[in-house]
Amino acid sequence: MGTQSSERTQDVCVVVPTIREYDCVRAYVANARKHGFDTDRLFFVLVTEDFCDTDAMQAMLEDLAVAGAVFDGTRREEWYDTHDIEEYGHVVPAASHAETSFGLLYMWATNQFEYGVFLDDDTLPHPGDFFGRHLSNLAYEGEIESVASDTQWVNVLYQSAAEHGLYPRGYPYSAMDERVETDTTTLDRGDVVASQGLWTNVPDLDAVRILMDGDLDGQARTRTTTEDFGRDFVAAPGNYLTVCSMNLAFRREIIPAFYQLPMDDNEWDVGRFDDIWSGVFLKRACDVLGKQIYNGHPLCEHNKAPRSTFDDLHNEVAGLELNEHVWRLVDGVGEGADSYVEVYRAVADALLDADAEAYRNGDFLPHVGEHMHDWLDALADLERVPAVADD
């Protein structure tokens, strides 16, 4: 169930978790062609479920004349078997946004991809060159604003926070009311390993903050606009930030430290923090290795569908307390490491060693740590198995 150019020129793997609005791919392909971005470089991996219309998804890719493959639950299982990693199938949770991890496995096994892009299916690109801007961010060199705070957290919405007062999903409540400090830093080519594009229209908020904004439909009455995002920036070393996977590009090299964590499908019902915690752990690895996460443009339009805010709250509440503390558990670990794998093992060990009894649902922490070790083992096994074509 795949199409692939005989030239095998793809170096950008675009991962789209979707069960509904897969037509968003059409807008991103149209954007690429409008701006002269070579769509032969793109390979789309649509991660979906058995109950979805995978034939229609594949037909869309063929109609667009772009390379790609559609992976529902059954086909993911077949892929694990084909690549001899069926014992690690559990690292990608079922029916969860964290299924984006499958796209990372696919990229790692198909080592032609130098770059990855995560897109949520409820987004659309702004008019500028979407893919070109992401790749230029990853190649950025020169001066850029560096942001820090006295709470060690950077609000990615800080530029207009005085007007809208928003904090994004995953930002610790204990880190609010921070004092922001800005400076300028100089980046060399290769320093940027991830490019986080931000979002207009519906802000990416957690359910508590949506309720505080007076909205019961899971969105938010306060909206963001292009004017809220002026300068691109990085978070200074020693500072953390929320990393949302709805509009994100990255270098293949970070995959060992960028596992999208096992949410939703667990006995504690912890969900909604897969990209948030993976961003915390990636930022720790970046600080150790002298790398950066670039934030700002290209923007996307986030058109989150209405849904019960209380449903989101139910999915988030089991992990809210852990989210206040997990970054402190890993802050400082891995010092002196010289690879993403080495840092990530140190982070995983920190979760395994955490005092689980100190937190509500604290036993989830070693559960995550074990899965992180399994993630690294799965990648190691994929490196030992010759890549298998999916066309």
CA atoms of 119 and 129, how far apart (whole Å): 15
Asked if omega into 237 is within 30° of 0 (cis), the reply is no
Q: Are 265 and 367 in contact (CB under 8 A)?
A: no
- Do strands 142-149 and 233-235 pair parallel, antiparallel, or not at all (unpaired)? parallel
Q: Residue 3: its pLDDT value, please? A: 41
Q: Is residue 187 part of a domain?
A: yes
Q: Residue 2: its pLDDT value, please? A: 43
Encode the chain (391 residues) as per-residue pLDDT tens digits.
Answer: 444 433 448 999 999 999 989 999 999 999 999 999 999 999 999 999 999 999 999 999 999 999 999 999 999 999 999 999 999 999 999 889 999 999 999 999 998 999 999 999 999 999 999 999 999 999 999 999 999 999 999 999 999 999 999 999 999 999 999 999 999 999 999 999 999 999 999 999 999 999 999 999 999 999 999 999 999 999 999 999 999 999 999 999 999 999 999 999 899 999 999 999 999 999 999 999 999 999 999 999 999 999 999 999 999 999 999 999 999 999 999 999 999 999 999 999 999 999 999 999 999 999 999 999 999 999 999 998 655 555 4
Helices 340-352 and 309-330: crossing angle in degrees, nearest 10, is 110
Q: Is residue 333 part of a domain?
A: yes
Q: Is residue 389 part of a domain?
A: no
Q: Which residues pair with 301 in a beta bridge?
A: 124, 200
- Identify the domain containing residue 353 by its residue range: 8-384
Neighbouring residues of 224: CB distance < 8 A, sequence distance ≥ 6? 157, 160, 164, 166, 198, 199, 200, 201, 203
Q: Are 69 and 46 in contact (CB under 8 A)?
A: yes
What are phi and psi for residue 133, nearest 5 degrees?
-70, -45
Q: Is residue 46 part of a domain?
A: yes
Structure tokens at 55: 């034939």
What is the residue-averaged pLDDT of the chain?
Answer: 95
Q: Are 185 and 144 in contact (CB under 8 A)?
A: yes
Structure tokens at 128: 């500028």
CATH at residue 245: 3.90.550.10
Structure tokens at 259: 């596992």
Q: Is residue 267 part of a domain?
A: yes
CA atoms of 208 and 135, how far apart (whole Å): 35
Q: Is residue 390 part of a domain?
A: no
Q: Is residue 3 part of a domain?
A: no
The domain tally of the chain equals: 1
Q: Is residue 68 part of a domain?
A: yes
Neighbouring residues of 317: CB distance < 8 A, sequence distance ≥ 6? none
Q: Which residues pair with 249 in a beta bridge?
A: 117, 195
Q: Residue 94: its pLDDT value, please? A: 86
Q: Residue 1: its pLDDT value, please? A: 47
